[in-house]
A and B are shown apart, each in its own frame.
Chain A
Amino acid sequence: MRCQICKKNEATIHLTEITEGMRTEMHLCENCAQEEGITAKGQIPINDLLSKLLATQPSDDEMGVAFESQTSCPHCGFTLAQFTKEAVLGCAYDYEIFEKPLLPLIEKAHNGRTVHCGKVPAKASKNTKKQTKLLNLRQKLAAAVKSENYELAARLRDEINQIG
């Protein structure tokens, strides 16, 4: 089937809309669907995503922190304005200094999660290792309950109790 708009490409997006009992169908190719605003591009360039997210940040007052886009990191001189251009941070401290404005972006990039629960360096403190392990186990527990694997869930709960 050809696209209804350009009449050239194969229609790959088929839309059925029912408004007030009236049924309408649309058959479009991906390009025309994108132009009509029906679908989004498959891969959004990271810079676009970052600048859009930062542009929709709450204002400084709302956050209760005086964050000017020109606030710079005392360790590396990094500013948020640079981040929207380059999409990379300047040093490890930026994650602390710019935590608030960065958090929505981090959340968005990682399916709403903002706390690490993977590998911890052997040299890290015992407490860090323990906390990360607990987080990891709790996540596995939630997944086990969701998939109704109660045997695994019970084992994980015991393990959590033992550590905690």
Chain B
Amino acid sequence: MKLTEISNNINEWFDGSGPLADIVISSRIRLARNLAGHKFLSRCSAAEQSVILKKLRDLLMSLDLGDKVFYLSVDKADVLNRNFLVERHLISRHHAFGKGPRGAVIAQRESFTAMINEEDHLRIQVLKAGCQLTQCAEQINRIDDMIEQRIEYAFSSRFGYLTACPTNLGTGIRVSVMLHLPALKITGQIEKFFNAARDMNLAVRGLFGEGTKAAGDFYQISNQATLGISEDQIVSQFEKNIIPEVVEYENAARSQLLSKEPEVLDDKISRAMALLRNAHLISSQEALFLLSHLRMGLNMHKHMGASTPAINSLCKLAGKSSDADKPYALSIGTINRLFMLTQPAHLQLNHGKVLDATGRDVLRARIIRSELNQDS
């Protein structure tokens, strides 16, 4: 399969569907595993790494995962394709630009990926739209069971699944949710969220962009402790405590904006609309930042019945989703699509050639203008 077959479309976990999707963009669970009888990767020769790669690739490709899967040799892929896979959250940056023989098995609908020879021999992940951690946990557990029937994992009764880094030891599970928190940012309360996350021993990262810097008000929170607590307990903490609390925080901030600072809200939305519909050069950071405000406006209308001058004109632009005569109606799905397709590697892959920064800014602005000016 060619990556351009998926690069023009949005992946299922980012299509704006799923429970609590106005704030919880997607849910992800990842398991870290190593094969018994092989050293961890940092001590393996390239030849041993190739043996592990072949063993795991053959095994994974023969499993019935309920979707078509394809294999990609990451170390042989060109830089643009690697960046594309990172932007799409299919592989980590560490995997994309690491060393040695390594690969990824990717399900066509992108809800499942396996990274072979990342930091551990095997890392499998399941991604779903909205708040669906229990479903992710069931699916990944099933896949893990299928793999385990055919090979032996490195496991000790005391420390559980043995991982290259002791921070992943035990369950090897990393539970993450991706959140959209624009109102907390605008109302200056995002620090509260960071502090609360820190108190609960959660890691906070940005969803887009490099490193931990959050762009466009998207944040990813994940558990840090993996030992001495079961998979169910971690998932249930997220579903029963952490997610409801963050959603309540963000909703309270949105209500506060609407009732106490409607001008601030309208200013953000109107400026975002004006710039996105008219700009001829737009950086990826700026696009994320502005699209984030449109996404918030649309969701506030849909979920809170918000009606301010700027939200009303945004909705006019959006049309009614039930209006069959308006196939280009702006929806959350469309905005999410713009988030993804205007990322640097997506732009270039879909354009068919490598572009410099200015070239990308021109193309990005053109795509956004065309999507947001369907009514004129």
A89: interface (CB < 8 Å): yes
Instruction: Chain A residues near B6: list those with CB within 8 A.
Output: none
B162: interface (CB < 8 Å): yes
Instruction: Chain A residues near B159: list those with CB within 8 A.
Output: 95, 106, 114-116
A163: interface (CB < 8 Å): no
Q: From residue 83 to 141 of chain A, which have CB atoms closer than 8 A to chain B?
A: 86-92, 95-96, 102, 105-106, 109-125, 127-128, 131-132, 136, 139-140
A26: interface (CB < 8 Å): no
Partner among B144, B157, B167, B227 whose Cβ is within 8 Å of the Cβ of A46: B167
A10 touches B188 (CB 8 A): yes
Instruction: Chain B residues near A111: list those with CB within 8 A.
Output: 201, 225, 228-229
A75: interface (CB < 8 Å): yes
B230 touches A117 (CB 8 A): yes
Nearest residue, chain A, Cβ from B169: A106
B42: interface (CB < 8 Å): yes
Most B C-beta atoms less than 10 A away, residue of A76, A121, A125: A121
**Known: A111-B228, A113-B229. Contact between A95 and B156, CB under 8 A?**
yes
A113 touches B162 (CB 8 A): no
Instruction: Chain B residues near A87: list those with CB within 8 A.
Output: 165
A122 touches B164 (CB 8 A): no
B119 touches A95 (CB 8 A): no
State how many angstroms separate the Cβ of A143 from the closest Cβ of chain B. 8
Interface residues of B (CB under 8 A from A): 34, 36, 38-43, 119, 141, 144-145, 148-149, 152-162, 164-167, 169-171, 173, 188, 191, 194, 198, 201, 203-204, 212, 224-231, 233
By Cβ-Cβ distance, the 3 closest A-B pairs, closest first, are A113-B228, A116-B160, A118-B171
A-B contact pairs, 28 of them (CB 8 A): A10-B188, A12-B191, A42-B198, A43-B203, A76-B43, A78-B43, A88-B40, A89-B40, A90-B39, A90-B40, A90-B42, A91-B40, A95-B159, A106-B169, A106-B227, A109-B166, A110-B225, A110-B227, A111-B201, A113-B229, A114-B159, A116-B170, A118-B170, A118-B229, A118-B231, A122-B145, A125-B157, A139-B229
